[in-house]
Amino acid sequence: MSEGLHLANLTEQLEKIKKVVQTCKEVDERVKQLCLPTEADAAASPGAGCSNRVPTEGLVGYLAGSFAEGQWKDEYLGVNATVTSGELASTEGTDNGGVRFKGRGSWAEWPVSKQGENQPYYFANNGFTLMATVTI
């Protein structure tokens, strides 16, 4: 390992960081509009109404409607998931359909812990929250 002073122009990285922060804010706002049904809601009418909002604090991954060629895009611009035997599940008029898994042997892998020695996602070694919209 060589020691010394290294100079680098960080303008490009700063722009990437700004884009990620802006995207996270936008995704947080979309996620806050989603809700989790209560037991009473589910009993009254499955899929109808809800009174619990999805929390965004600690949310580091959101896999929703961006899916193509076996890659399920993390809306927070983090690590994409790889899907086997799945297809985009459309929800009329929205982009939050998620993925529909097609039978036995269907699965998704969110490989945050497989990023090598330079682990950019340190939270993968700790507690974190991942939200995914799926149809089984």
pLDDT tens figures, 59-102: 888 888 788 888 888 888 888 888 888 887 765 555 566 788 88
CA–CA gap between residue 98 and residue 8 (Å, rounded): 40
Q: 83 with 70: CB under 8 angstroms?
A: yes
Sign of CA dihedral 45, 48, 54, 60: positive
Global pTM exceeds 0.75? no
